[in-house]
Every structure is written in structure tokens, then in C-alpha cells.
Structure 1
Amino acid sequence: MSAPALHPMRVTVTTRRPGTADGHIFVAPYNLSRPVGQTGSLIVDDSGSPVWFRPLSYSNLQNADFRVQRYRDPRTHRSQPVLTWWQGSLAIPPWYTNLPGGAPEPGGCYYVYDDHYHLLRTVFARHGFNADEHEFLLTRRGTALFIASKPVPMDLTRYGGPRNGAIEDSEVQEVDLATGKLVFSWDMLRHVDPAYSEVPASDASSSGGVWDAYHMNSIDEDSEGHLLVSARNMWAVYDITRKTGGIVWQLGGRKSDFTFGPDAEFFWQHDARFRPGHRISMFDDGCCNEPNPPEQQSHGLILEIDPHTRRATAARTYYHAPGLYSASQGDTQGLPRAHEFIGWGQESYYSEYSGAGNSEGQGARNLLYDARMPGSDISYRAFRHAWTGKPYYPPSAAARTTGGRSTVYASWNGSTETRAWQVLAGRDPRSLRVVVGRTPRTGFETAVPTAVRGPYFQVRALDARGKILGRSTVVALPR
């Protein structure tokens, strides 16, 4: 009632046990066919209630990689928490068939918003590449690392593809946020032979002649200047040194430098991350891509990497109950107390597990939290983050009357500090008095009944101590 332009999806919480990590949940819902609710960037609490929602104007515009990061202000050099995400259009039939499925169309960008929901920075890809939805990382150096993609014309006949084809190239780009200048780049086509792709070049016939040989989908950086790059369609993760751009080692794929222990092999993976010690985490999609049959059930995976013996072993695995087979997307996020938060990609779930994890067929073990998005709505990644939102705009209010009693509706999109509402009323909009002193906040919108007929009303948002955080405009009962 108080925010009629907002129509976020309704999340169903299926498991909620004590002991979850603190924070809200961050998703960017969209749909490969028909969405339930608006697409956009959405923060929800553990009950599934919206906390902040920024809807998009039409359904084939998407957000992705929506999360909290630290931003170093180039003027003050101070660090602050911010929201970041990608925005653009993806090559999803029937809207676009000119690129491989899931590739970014031209025109996308990355946004950085502060805790008042002000836009701080807009970041674009450089030298002819398109901003890619798969990764956007802020660094302590005041830069942004991200993936950029573009089709490069190429004769693909030696790979089994068309003569007048192209390859969807991916590049790691780093931009200085103060100047907008490109300070580093690493091009996959220059360093990795596409002949070892698990996707045949003949697939280009269904995507405008463009072959998605690599499908780079994550970047991570360690303290020693190494980059960890995941290429989904190579079934491989690469350790790259920034100094020379050389590949230190390849994990997985047809040219792997490592052997694998039981349950350690992965396929079609996403979200490869450095972990403390010699560990790497990822989301192992593991399945569902033709012409290859399903290989294994999708799951979160933490690998122990022995740099001397060049052997990878499964340290932890995180499966869902019921078992899921996610054809694309997904992430595995490390949380405090060794918890793991799993976004299930093309399956409409997100979950939290305690540290020990579980094994295939035992997905309910160590499960602390599980929620499902409606219909076939999905989010490329899902995260849990601590976040304090202090909107620069005022709270919203609406008033209705039924049977001689008035109900005032109060909400404040994005406020995480509001704990209660105060209602004011009066016959004149310039002389209102408090008629309801304190009503606890009950979800995104709180309905406050009152016998006072107004007809003018205003709401005040209160924090835990009763301090006024913000005031709505004055609203009147409909005539």
C-alpha cells in the first residue's frame, strides 16, 4: 500500500534453524522465461521479507552479482561498505540469439552505491569489450577488477565451426576508480588454446556464429598478486601471475596440472575462490550441458591443493536435499564460524550450512537455512552480508478507511535500523499530533490501525532507542 511501485518476488523459507550467520541475503532475481515479480536487486531478511528492492524497468534487463563490498574513496582514502552489481541485458532467447546464451549484450555496466543508496560510481569495460555479469571486485588499491567479453571474428573450421565465425573472448580488466583508466588486462584468447574446450565449435550455429569456448565466470586475487580465473566451458581454473600474465598452473580440464582424489573432480564450475592455506572453493554445477550427459549432482566444493604433489582432494562438500542439478550459475560463499552460503544458480534455492558440510544423498545434514524463490525465478549468485542501510529519501506512508476506522501503512525501502513506527494525525496537514506512539515494525510494511479519522496522516520511523530516523510526507485519506 505504501510502496505500490514495488513488486518483488515472494521467497518461501523452507528451513530456518538457530545459529545462522548474521546479516541479510542479497539476490538479483530474474527469469529465463517469465518472472514472478519484478527483476532487480533485492535484499531480504531470514523470514523472506524484503528489506530493499530496486526494480528494473523491463523484464529482459537484469542485475547480477549483487553484493556488499568495501570501497576506498579516492578523495578521502577511507573505506566504506557499498552495494555493487552489474546491470545490462543477456543473450537469452527469444530476445537475443546473436551471442552464446548468457553472454552480455553491449551496453552493460557496473554500479557502486553507498549506504544511503546514492550512486557513487558507474564503471564500464574498456577497448571494445562488454561489461560481463559474472564478476565485479573492488580492491584495496582503489580499483575494480572485472570480466569483460566480446566476440572476436575467426575462422573456426579447424575447430569444427563456421568459416565466418567468431569466438567469445574474455578478458580480466582492472580500472582505476578515481581516473577511469585501465591499469591491467589479461586476455584469455592470448593465453589459452580454445581447442581444449568442452563445448564444440559447432554450437556456434545456434548463436550467430559465435563460439563460447571459454566462458570465464569468476576472478579472485590473493595477497601475493596471483589471480584465480575460472573458465566454465574449459572445466578449468587457472592460477595467473599478474607480473607476467603467465599461467602458473591449471586445475581441471583436459590439460590439468593436477590429479584428483575421490569427489574432487568438477565440471562446468563457477565462483572459484582462494581460501586460507592451500584451499580453493567453488560451486560445482557438475551437469546438464549437451552433448555431454549429466556428470554429477551440483554442490558447493572446497578443495585442498597440494602444490608439491600436484594433487587436489575434496576437503568439504555441500549438497542440497533434494538433490539439485544446476545447468549454470551458482556460488559458494565463506561465512564466519566456517559456515558456507550456497547460491544454487539455475535452481531457485539458496542455503546456509555449518562448517562440516555433508555428502551426496545427505543434503539435510548440517543445513541451517534454506529458501526457495517462486516459479522458475533464479539469481546468478546469492550472498549473506551484514549491511546497514540509511536511505537518503524519506519513509513512505498510505492511509485507508474502512467502517469508520483508519489504517495507516508505513514502510521505508532499505532502512535496516527502523524498529518501530509512530503515527501522527490531524484535520490540518500543518497541525498533526501523535496518535499512535509506538508500533513495532512488522516486515517490509507495517499496518497501524487507529480510530482517528484524520484525514491527514504522517509516519515517523524510530530506531531501537526510540530516536526518530525519518518522517514521511503527509498523506490524506482518499475521498
Structure 2
Amino acid sequence: MSSGTRTLPCIHRVRSRPPGLYIAMIGAFVSLLYLFYIFAVPQLRRLHLRTDLSWYDLGLYGFGPSQDYVSFDYESPVVQISEGGAGSDPQFTFLAPRGDSVVQPGPMILDSRGELVWMKHNWEITQDFKVQRYQDTDYLTYWEGDEVEARGYGAWYMLDSTYTQRYVITPIGSYGGDLHEFNITPQGTALVTIYDPVLADLTSIGGPELGWIYDGVFQEIDIATGELIFEWRASKHYPINSTYETLGKAGATRSSAFDYFHINSVDKDDHGNYNILARHTHTVSCIDKDSGVVLWTLGGKLNDF
């Protein structure tokens, strides 16, 4: 190396991140861990993880696996019954499958192995398939009809032990029977629900003065005679603004009536009064059997407790 050559030391330039950025990154990480612990961990604890999952459990047979038969032309769903819980019926399971993946909808009964015992192919939607007792005899009952936005327009059917149709129950008046309730009482009557579109003033919730609502109606009908014993309407006892449902674009026309009450179920107590449940007012109410007056309301904006 010549005497005129100099070796220059390397110059290193250290870049440092602002301390505030590190603090923000740590804070974001801690926040994500906290949210995971609060929301995800409780859900994960509810899962019962298994290592013996079958092809059926993994969904490899498709969304709605079905099987056909040589003896008749119907198809029934392929089900897998993993285990029977304590208190469950060891004999039969009642189903009313529906949806795009269901080949032939309708009520059906399966045995404890998931094999088909009986089914009826209905062209319309079937719901609420169960056993009820009427005049000391067990009947298979179900609702059949059309459904629009969780409301039904149809009728209720009663079949005897030979699967023969004995009764068809429809509401009294020009109504369609709703899918939510068909309850046979010990007195031989049926409690049914109805959604009736009627004119109503919706200004209290920001709607038109000449608007439309689905009135929550229930009837008690004598099964043997078809006589109307009792009828009750929500609009006569619950104001429109008692709802928790958002009006949105509903209520301007009959076809877009606002479902402010949404009656779900009805039953009778030991005094003969009616207990009803309404989803959109968040209420359970007791209705006087004679006058229809609301005796008390639990929950909602008109809570008595």
C-alpha cells in the first residue's frame, strides 16, 4: 500500500423509531389480546373438540344429504344421531325440514337410528310438527302454508294414529293461519296466531299518518264446531311506539306493512286467562279471558314489574 493511501473508517448511521410508535404498537397488541379473551375465549370454551369426526360431521356429503327408496318415490334426509341425551325420547324424532337443499319438504318421523318411519311430501312449507292430545286421543299436528319474512299464511292439520287427516283448522274470518302457534287446550279448543295487515297511524315512530301495520292477533277456536270463542288484537291495547323494531322503509303500503308487535306464542293459565309473547315489544303479557284487557305486562316499555 502506498504511503499516499488512507483507510477511512466506515460511517454507520443508526435510525431509531420514535418511542411513541412502540408504545402504540404494544397498546394495540394488548387491546387485541384483551378482545380475544373477552369475546373469543368464552365461545371456544363452549366447543367440544373431537378427534373422531366422521365424513358426515365434516360436511363432505353436502349441505343436505338425502337417500331414496325402492318401495316409494320419496327422499328423506340422511342424519347422524351421535348420542341420546338424558331425558330425550329413545324412540322417535319429529322433523319438518325445509330450504333449498331439501329435496321433498314435509313432516317426517325418524327412529332412534335416524331411519325413516313416516313422511308426507307437502308442496308448501311445513312447520311445528308435533304430537298433541285432543279428546283423550293423540294427534300429529303441523302447520302448512306460505311464509314471508317469518310470518305464515296457511292452515293447521291434525292426523290420527293411522296418519289419516281428521281435521283442518283455519282462522275464523278472511285470515291466513300463522306458523308460530297451534296449541290445543285441555278444553278441546285451539289457540292460533294471525298476522293481519291493517291501516294505522305511524307518526309516533316517524312514519306516515296513513300507514300499515301487521296486527298481532290470536284466536281461540272450538275444534269440533269451528266456533270462534275469543279473539284479541294487539293494536287495541299496545301503542305503535311500544315497539323496539326499526321502521325503516316498512309501513307505506299493505304489502310492506310494519310488524311492530310480532306475536310468537299464546297459552292459557289455570284461571283461563291468556299469556302471550311478542318479540318486537320484548313482552310477555296476561290477557283477561272475558274483556281482553291486559292484566299485566312483563318487559318492554310498558313493564309493570
Same fold (TM over 0.5): yes
Alpha-carbon shift at residue 48 of structure 1 (Å): 2.3
- Asked whether the equivalents of residues 286 and 297 of structure 2 are also in contact (C-alpha less than 8 Å), the reply is yes
Check if 1:12 corresponds to 2:80: yes
- When residues 45 and 253 of structure 1 are mapped into structure 2, their CA distance, relative to the original with a 3 A threshold, is farther
- When residues 216 and 156 of structure 1 are mapped into structure 2, their CA distance, relative to the original with a 3 A threshold, is same
Deviation per CA, 1:359-418, whole angstroms, max 9, x where unpaired? xxxxxxxxxxxxxxxxxxxxxxxxxxxxxxxxxxxxxxxxxxxxxxxxxxxxxxxxxxxx
- Asked whether the equivalents of residues 40 and 53 of structure 1 are also in contact (C-alpha less than 8 Å), the reply is yes
For residues 246 and 19 of structure 1, what CA distance do their matches in structure 2 show?
39
2:258 is matched with 211
For residues 197 and 138 of structure 1, what CA distance do their matches in structure 2 show?
29
2:215 is matched with 169
- When residues 70 and 193 of structure 1 are mapped into structure 2, their CA distance, relative to the original with a 3 A threshold, is same
2:143 is matched with 86
- When residues 49 and 203 of structure 1 are mapped into structure 2, their CA distance, relative to the original with a 3 A threshold, is farther
What amino acid does structure 2 have at the position aligned with 1:115? S
For residues 191 and 18 of structure 1, what CA distance do their matches in structure 2 show?
43
Structure 2 matches for 1:172-211, cutoff 5 A? 172-204=218-250, 208-211=255-258
Select which of 47, 54, 59 maps to 2:113.
47
Check if 1:28 corresponds to 2:28: no
What amino acid does structure 1 have at the position aligned with 2:281? M
What amino acid does structure 1 have at the position aligned with 2:115? S
Describe the SS at the equivalent of 2:101. Answer: coil
What amino acid does structure 1 have at the position aligned with 2:271? E
User: By percentage of residues, which structure has more strand?
Assistant: 1
- When residues 140 and 12 of structure 1 are mapped into structure 2, their CA distance, relative to the original with a 3 A threshold, is same
Select which of 136, 139, 150 maps to 1:102.
150
Deviation per CA, 1:276-315, whole angstroms, max 9, x where unpaired? xxxxxxxxxxxxxxxxxxxxxxxxxxxxxxxxxxxxxxxx
- When residues 64 and 198 of structure 1 are mapped into structure 2, their CA distance, relative to the original with a 3 A threshold, is same
Alpha-carbon shift at residue 191 of structure 1 (Å): 1.3
Check if 1:154 corresponds to 2:200: yes
Structure 2 matches for 1:17-416, cutoff 5 A? 17=85, 20-31=88-99, 34-57=100-123, 61-72=124-135, 79-91=136-148, 101-105=149-153, 108-204=154-250, 208-258=255-305
CA RMSD in angstroms, aligned pairs only:
2.1
Deviation per CA, 1:195-237, whole angstroms, max 9, x where unpaired? 1111122241698331010110111112211211010111111
What amino acid does structure 2 have at the position aligned with 1:104? G
Deviation per CA, 1:415-469, whole angstroms, max 9, x where unpaired? xxxxxxxxxxxxxxxxxxxxxxxxxxxxxxxxxxxxxxxxxxxxxxxxxxxxxxx
What amino acid does structure 1 have at the position aligned with 2:117? V
Structure 2-normalised TM-score? 0.71
- Asked whether the equivalents of residues 277 and 284 of structure 2 are also in contact (C-alpha less than 8 Å), the reply is yes
Alpha-carbon shift at residue 142 of structure 1 (Å): 2.1
Alpha-carbon shift at residue 150 of structure 1 (Å): 1.2
- When residues 227 and 23 of structure 1 are mapped into structure 2, their CA distance, relative to the original with a 3 A threshold, is farther
For residues 214 and 48 of structure 1, what CA distance do their matches in structure 2 show?
38
Describe the SS at the equivalent of 1:126. Answer: coil
- Structure 2 unaligned residues grouped into runs of 5+: 1-68
Structure 1-normalised TM-score? 0.46
- When residues 170 and 18 of structure 1 are mapped into structure 2, their CA distance, relative to the original with a 3 A threshold, is closer
Alpha-carbon shift at residue 41 of structure 1 (Å): 0.7
User: By percentage of residues, which structure has more helix?
Assistant: 2
Alpha-carbon shift at residue 131 of structure 1 (Å): 0.6
Deviation per CA, 1:146-169, whole angstroms, max 9, x where unpaired? 112210022423322345531001
- Asked whether the equivalents of residues 237 and 252 of structure 1 are also in contact (C-alpha less than 8 Å), the reply is yes
Which structure is richer in relative contact order (CA contacts within 8 A, separation 6 or more)? 1
- Asked whether the equivalents of residues 11 and 48 of structure 1 are also in contact (C-alpha less than 8 Å), the reply is yes
The structure with the larger Rg is: 2
- Asked whether the equivalents of residues 160 and 200 of structure 1 are also in contact (C-alpha less than 8 Å), the reply is no
For residues 222 and 88 of structure 2, what CA distance do their matches in structure 1 show?
36
Number of residue-to-residue matches in the alignment? 236
What amino acid does structure 2 have at the position aligned with 1:102? A
2:35 is matched with none
What amino acid does structure 2 have at the position aligned with 1:219? V
Deviation per CA, 1:17-60, whole angstroms, max 9, x where unpaired? 566344422221112xx133321112222332222111113xxx
For residues 236 and 292 of structure 2, what CA distance do their matches in structure 1 show?
10
For residues 122 and 41 of structure 1, what CA distance do their matches in structure 2 show?
15
- Asked whether the equivalents of residues 188 and 223 of structure 2 are also in contact (C-alpha less than 8 Å), the reply is yes
- Structure 1 unaligned residues grouped into runs of 5+: 73-78, 92-100, 259-479
Fraction of identical pairs, as percent: 32
- Asked whether the equivalents of residues 286 and 294 of structure 2 are also in contact (C-alpha less than 8 Å), the reply is yes
Describe the SS at the equivalent of 2:241. Answer: helix
Describe the SS at the equivalent of 1:55. Answer: coil
For residues 87 and 176 of structure 2, what CA distance do their matches in structure 1 show?
41
- When residues 51 and 123 of structure 1 are mapped into structure 2, their CA distance, relative to the original with a 3 A threshold, is same
For residues 219 and 205 of structure 1, what CA distance do their matches in structure 2 show?
25
